[in-house]
Structure formats: C-alpha cells, structure tokens
Structure 1
Amino acid sequence: MARLTELSRSIDGKVAIVTGAASGMGRATAHLFADEGARVVVADLGAERVATVVDEITAAHGAHAAIGIATDVSDLEQLRTLVDDTVAWGSRLDIVVNNAGVSLPNSAFQPEDEFELNWARTLDINLTAHARLIRLALPHLSASGAGRIVNIASTEAIVTTAGLAAYAATKAGVVGITKSFAVELGRHGVTVNCVCPGPINTGMTAGIDATAKETYARRRVPLRRYGAPEEVAQMTLNLCLPASSFVNGAVIPVDGGMTIRHT
C-alpha cells in the first residue's frame, strides 16, 4: 500500500555523535539510534567504558554501526578531533547530541576554592562544550541538508535544587544557547532543540535511596515514578527525524509532568 504522507521517520544511514554515551541517557540514545539504522559515534571519558558500549552496538548491528572516541568534552582540541575523526569514519555528520554533563556540589556556603573549582568544571562540561561542539560540527551539519542538534538540559533549568548552583545555571544556559543557535542556524538547514529530563534513573540519581525516590515520585510526579533513560532517548530521536524538520528551538521536558504540578 502506498504511503499517503511525505515526511520520513527514519534516520537510517545518518551519522550521529552522542556525547556522554558510555552510560545512562547517552548510552540509551546511542543504542536507540543504532537500532534505528544510524551509524553512531560513542563519545565519553574512558576508552574502556566507550568500548563497552561500542561492543554492545556492534554485536547487535555489525562492525559498521558504531565507533568509540574517548573524549573529554571540556577540551577544545579533543572536540575538534572528535568531529574530524567522525567525518573521516562516516564521510558525513548529520546529528549531534550534546548529552555529556556533570553535577557537582556548588553552594553559596562552600569554601571558595571548592566553589571555584566546581563552578568552572561544571561550566566547561555542561555549557561551553555544547557551544564548541556545535560550532565545530556546523559545516558538516549544514552540508547534510538536514542537520540536527539536540542539547540535553534538565528540569533544573526550570525548577532548582539548593546546593547545585552551577548545574542549574548551566542547564538554564543550555536552554539559552539552544534558542540562540536555533534562530541563527535555521537558515542553514540545521535545527537545534533541547530536552529537559526530570527524575530519571541514571548514574546521577543512583545514590538516592530507593525509598526517597518513591516518596518524591508520589509527591511530585503525576506519573508517580522515575523515568527510564530510553524514555528520554526516544524524545531525542523524535527531534532528529526528517519528519521533525519544522521543530526548531523547542525546549521539551521529559519529566512525567513534574514541572507542571502545583499541588
């Protein structure tokens, strides 16, 4: 039967970089993209951690489906190498998912040296790296004809937690650069969107007691549970589809309704 619609929901054959892809939402995104036919560059700290995810993907989809590039996203030259090596491997670059991030304690009452260190490190990884990778990837994304950038922020850009000043600031900043780059890059055929995950079961939340998680979810989340990394990855995928070609500058919470709940 012939299709009645024109826009594709396939990323088959696309080449994607996913940062922070060795665990959590990044790993889920890398897996999902590969499941949908994309060729995936797994970028994260630690060659062994990266290799583990690459092995998972290539075992399922073949050696052509993924490569790993150990990358410290806070280092400009390593980001440059990431883009260059991606294009050398895949002959193109269609999708960038800026997922890498850290959550370091950052309080108004911290000792000055600890505050300064954690503030600078958080900004370098959570915000500056996003902007740098977008700029480095832009010539290739523009040449793609349907370039897609998805920045992973957080609901901490909307509602905040005490003691995480730098994290909240950077996630609000991710929303800001998403909107700014979306306006600037649209004319080049590149869309820029942002996903704001809420309470998700990842390494960042692994240290929270299970009972505390359950209590929080009952009180704050209309769906009454924490989310799974793949539930975030599915939204990221949606924003990268050819069919999402008119979605640009969107900021989408994936939080079970947490940020809309008043009582």
Structure 2
Amino acid sequence: MAHATNGKRIAIVTGSASGLGRELAVRLTERGWFVAGVDFDAERQATLVDELTADSYRAFVGDVSDEAFVKASVAEIAGLGHIDLLINNAGQPSFKVPTAYEGADVDRCLKGLKGMILWSVETLKADGETDLKIANVMSTAATRGNANESVYCAAKWGEKGYTQSLKAAYKGSSVKIVGVYPGGIDTDFYRDSHDYVSEEKQHTFMDPGELADVILFNLVNDANLTVSDILIERNYR
C-alpha cells in the first residue's frame, strides 16, 4: 500500500484530463498528493500520464456516470490506501434557448449529477465514512437561473441540493462536504457553444490555473477549519 503511493495522501479528481480538473490534478500532485484522475478522454489521459510520475497520478478512463466503472475504480483506488479527498468536477454543458432542448441534452447534463452521486456514495462506503473531504464543483448556475441555460441550471441546482443534503447528513462528523461555485472559466468547456459564448468573450473568463490555486488554497490546508462553500466570480471587463 505504502509502495503504491509512497505514503502520499490520496485524492480522486473526476474530469481530470482537461480544463479545471486537469489544473486541480496537476496542482495536487505538486503539493505531494497521489491523484486518481477520472476522465472519458483516453488520449488526454495518456498525455497527462506522460507528464506526471507513476507515484503521483493514475488514470482511470471511463464514463463517470457508469455505475460498474465507478464501483470498480473506487475499489482499486481504496486498495492503495485511505481516500482523503474526492473532487467531483466532471460535467458537460448545454446552452440553448428553452425550446431547443431535447432529451439528449437533458441526459448529457444529468451525467454530472449522476456521477457526483455515484462517486460520493462509493467513496463514502470505501472510507467507512471517516476522515474524508468531498468537494463538489458546480457553477454559479447552481445559484441562479440563467437565460438559455435552463437544463444546465436544472442539473446544477440538483447538484447543489445533493451537496446540501450531504452536509446535513454528515454535520458534526469527520466527513466534510464543500460546495464549489465558479463563474465562467476560459477552457474548452464552451467549444461546442460558440454561438452562445464567443471565443473572444471566453478569453475574458477566469484562468483555470489561477482558479485551481484559489480553490485548493481554501480546500487543502492544515488549518483546523473547513471552508464549506467557495463562490468565485470572474472579474467583468
């Protein structure tokens, strides 16, 4: 067990191969963590594996909402040692006028919510519900309604409800639940929606690396406290 991770603390990061998830995973390894990174993109996972060392990062390739994949992955990760941190970051956008949404758009947005639940449940069971921090990365879309984001907002509001319920269930225990609500981020997240967010506007959004630093500053520290909600708005210009 100690050989596999060299005694490092273990974190699971979903959506780890690109965007904010990638920045979180890389920065955790730089802070001495072992990261189990989860993503459906095998090519991007392979690139990240090449950049990081075997004793700091292990790639799991699959759909975060596939229950069998989640169960098998968490079992393997738990075999390496106690899981200290789960960051539920994976999610997919869908930005359309209200009448343009179809069932496939709903299914796409709900993958993040389903994955958040499945990874949380399996990690809690694997850890015996002790000394675990779960950070659910959502969006400011979970705090308000936005035009042309009706289904996306609905999914994020569901994620917020799940996060708040976990907080209530584990209040006073060694399980800590953190809600993370970032505004617009300059990543590939909008690549299929340039009719909604232009590339020019996207590049005014928050830098994912800087955002990851702010999140981890609040999430991973030695202080005897827990920042329970992290709301980060971008500077408008």
Q: Normalising by structure 1, report the TM-score.
A: 0.78
Tell me the CA shift for residue 26 of structure 1: 0.3
2:162 equivalent in structure 1: 177
CA distance in structure 1 between the partners assigned to 2:81 and 2:206 by the alignment:
35
3-state DSSP of counterpart to 1:109: helix
- What CA deviation, in whole Å up to 9, does each residue of 1:191-247 have, x standing for no partner? 011111112111113544344347xxxxxxxxxx42111233223323442535532
User: If you compute each CA radius of gyration, which structure gives the higher value, 1 or 2?
Assistant: 1
CA distance in structure 2 between the partners assigned to 1:245 and 1:108 by the alignment:
45
1:209 equivalent in structure 2: 198
Q: Normalising by structure 2, report the TM-score.
A: 0.85
3-state DSSP of counterpart to 1:73: coil
CA distance in structure 1 between the partners assigned to 2:29 and 2:233 by the alignment:
24
Equivalent residue in structure 2 for 1:255, among 214, 233, 237? 233
CA distance in structure 1 between the partners assigned to 2:220 and 2:63 by the alignment:
28
RMSD: 2.2
Judged with a 3 Å threshold, the aligned counterparts in structure 2 of structure 1 residues 106 and 81 are, in CA distance, closer, same or farther, namely farther
Judged with a 3 Å threshold, the aligned counterparts in structure 2 of structure 1 residues 246 and 183 are, in CA distance, closer, same or farther, namely farther
3-state DSSP of counterpart to 1:94: strand
Judged with a 3 Å threshold, the aligned counterparts in structure 2 of structure 1 residues 241 and 212 are, in CA distance, closer, same or farther, namely closer
What aligned pairs does 1:63-142 form with structure 2 within 5 A after superposition?
Answer: 63-88=54-79, 90-105=80-95, 107-110=97-100, 115-123=102-110, 125-142=111-128
One-letter amino acid of the structure 1 residue matched with residue 24 of structure 2: T
- Say how many residue pairs are matched: 226
Quick one: percent identity of the two aligned structures? 27
What aligned pairs does 1:1-263 form with structure 2 within 5 A after superposition?
Answer: 13-58=8-53, 63-88=54-79, 90-105=80-95, 107-110=97-100, 115-123=102-110, 125-142=111-128, 145-206=130-191, 207=194, 208-213=197-202, 225-243=204-222, 245-247=224-226, 250-256=228-234
User: Would you say the 8 A contact 2:10–2:84 is kept in 1?
Assistant: yes
- What CA deviation, in whole Å up to 9, does each residue of 1:47-80 have, x standing for no partner? 222121122122xxxx211110102012111111
